[in-house]
Amino acid sequence: MLDDLALWSTAALIGALSLFTAGHALIMKRDPRSALGWIMVSLAVPLVGPFFYWCLGVNRISRRARTWLESGRRLAGAEHFRTVHGQDAATALPPGIEYMAQLRSLADRVTNGPLLEGNRVIPLENGDTAYPAMLEAIAGARKSVHLSTYIFDGDGAGRRFIAALADAARRGVDVRVIVDGLGEKYSLPRARVLMEGTRIRAVRFLPLRQGLYLNLRNHRKVLIVDGERGFTGGMNLGDRHLLEGSGPTAVKDMHFEVKGPVVGELQRVFLEDWHFATGELLDSERYFPPIPPAGAALARAVGDGPDREFRKLQLIIMGAISCARRQVLIMTPYFIPDRALIAALVTTALRGVEVTLILPEKNNLPYVKWASQAYLWELLQQGIRVFYQPPPFVHTKLLVVDGLWSLIGSANLDPRSLRLNFELDLEVYDRELAGTLARHFAEIRSRSREVTLDEMDGRPLPVKLRDAAAKLFSPYL
């Protein structure tokens, strides 16, 4: 009798857990397909279904990040930096770009940074070009050097940066470095360890000892010198970005030098992260000097992360695609689109806009390429052209619309960048920059292999099954 009672009690508890889990999914999941899937799994597979739901189906990431924002540990917005200098937001778009006013209005509403006039953005290809410019800027620093990166390798290139930073610190320059707590583990010795004994103030963003945060990573790459000269893009620090001598580990990428008032916004984003990592709020004029105009570009810094109410970058990307009249050019190393992005791309192509996507033929994360391939047939069907860029692995991230508007920075077109990581991009209205990037895109396309619908349809069944299985896990890749 007691055994039967225990058995029935256990069954009742398991059933209650399944019902409670299904109810939670019904109320909390925004996507009805996701809700239905979790409800079915929870009810059909007792214990196992609820276990996986509470491990994978509950978005603790955004909740934790928003908790930091609400508690004041994370800052968001210029109101925390009373001494920010710079021009007022641009009052109008330049002639010929007026039809993008709705895109500008969208970005005004979802970001906390202004669209600023008087900027210049200079593309720098690979570490062979970008690193010397960055090291020269550090060598000339007079007041401050602020560097944030996801990966900071302790190899030859990393040691050159450490030497330059240490030398600046010895001269009395305030040198601060943020390295992501997970990204720093990509190499030995750790760059942060190599900085010990110098005057460099180096901190980790979310050290793993604070929790097993495989997500919530700081993927931003930014260098600000004296508050008036900036560098940003997608490039980490390490020998792999130097094409000469890198061999099979070489990574091609593009970085950007930034001049003009928008550098103050890059500084603000860095200091928000510094406050998060250290609790120290820096808002003196030493770090926000007046910055004179340096060019004709309108630019806005878009700092995004899971602590924001809106998925800012995703909304801006979709807004830009929907505004396109002639051409959308996309280059990204990791392409795992959600349904909304696929719909935006397909709708734009069906309107008669030329949509072209360049992906790397060789990917450093094979399972990401497998998942990407599972999406390509849907784009190819509707006339979107897809190209595979030949090796070495290409880490460049570009979005150019109509030769007028560009999005550059650290974010990839995948869930990790658009939902889980802290990212930093620049949206730029500038014909000169967009034209330069479009020419670079065309040159790369001329050397790339076009992917066809027949190729995707002709994949062997085991390959289709592999790609489809990888696609199932795309929200977590």
Q: Could you tell me which of 120, 100, 105, 92 has the C-alpha nearest to residue 297?
A: 120
- Rounded to the nearest 5 percent, the helix, strand and coil shares of the chain are 45, 20, 35
Q: What's the token pair of residue 360? A: 């790397």
Give the dihedral sign, CA 55/57/58/64: positive
Q: Which residues pair with 365 in a beta bridge?
A: none
CATH topology classification for 125-253+261-294: Endonuclease; Chain A (3.30.870)
Residue 53 carries which DSSP code?
Answer: I
CA angle 112, 115, 116 (to 5 degrees): 125
**pTM tops 0.85:** yes
110 with 304: CB under 8 angstroms?
no
SS (HEC) of 410-433: CCCECHHHHHHCEEEEEEEECHHH
CA distance 45 to 229: 57
Cα first-last separation, the chain: 50
Residue type, 224: I
Residue 255 near residue 235, CB atoms below 8 Å: yes
Annotated domain spans of the chain: 2-58, 125-253+261-294, 312-476
HEC secondary structure over 445-460: HHCCEEECHHHHHCCC
CB 422 within 8 A of CB 218: yes
Pairing of strands 405-409, 201-205: unpaired
Measure CA 325 to chain center: 26
Give the list of residues 6+ apart from residue 336 with CB closer than 8 angstroms, or none.
368, 371, 372, 375, 413, 414, 415, 474, 477
Neighbours of 50 (CB within 10 A): 24
Cis ω for the linkage preceding 390 (within 30 of 0) = no
pLDDT of residue 467: 92
Task: Select the CATH number that applies to the domain covering 312-476 from these four: 2.40.30.70, 3.40.50.300, 3.30.870.10, 3.40.250.10.
Answer: 3.30.870.10
**Nearest Cα to Cα of residue 107 among 90, 130, 85:** 90
Q: Distance between CA atoms of 245 and 128, rounded to whole angstroms?
A: 11
CA 4 to chain centre: 56
Q: Is 147 helix (H, G, I), strand (E, B) or coil?
A: strand
pLDDT of residue 249: 81
- The H-assigned helical ranges of 29-125 are 32-44, 48-52, 60-71, 101-110
Residue pair 257/122 in contact by the 8 Å Cβ criterion: yes
pLDDT value of position 314? 93
Tell the residue number behind the tokens 């550090």, with chain if given.
Answer: 138
Q: How far is CA 182 from the centre of its chain?
A: 15
Q: Which pLDDT score, from 0 to 100, does residue 61 have?
A: 57
Q: Strand, coil or helix: what is 1?
A: coil
Q: Are 116 and 84 in contact (CB under 8 A)?
A: no
The answer to whether domain 125-253+261-294 and domain 312-476 are alike in fold is yes
Which pLDDT score, from 0 to 100, does residue 55 have?
A: 65
User: What's the confidence (pLDDT) of residue 17?
Assistant: 77
Per-residue pLDDT of the chain (477 residues; tens, 9 = 90+): 556 666 777 777 877 877 887 787 777 766 676 676 677 777 777 877 777 776 655 555 566 666 766 666 666 666 666 555 555 676 789 888 999 999 999 999 998 789 999 999 999 999 999 999 999 999 999 999 999 999 999 999 999 999 999 999 999 999 999 999 888 888 888 998 999 999 999 999 988 765 556 677 899 999 999 999 999 999 999 999 998 766 778 899 999 999 999 999 999 999 999 998 898 988 888 999 999 999 999 999 999 887 665 689 999 999 999 999 999 999 999 999 999 999 999 999 999 999 999 999 999 889 999 999 999 999 999 999 999 999 999 999 999 999 999 999 999 999 888 888 899 999 999 999 999 999 999 999 999 999 999 999 999 999 999 999 888 877 766
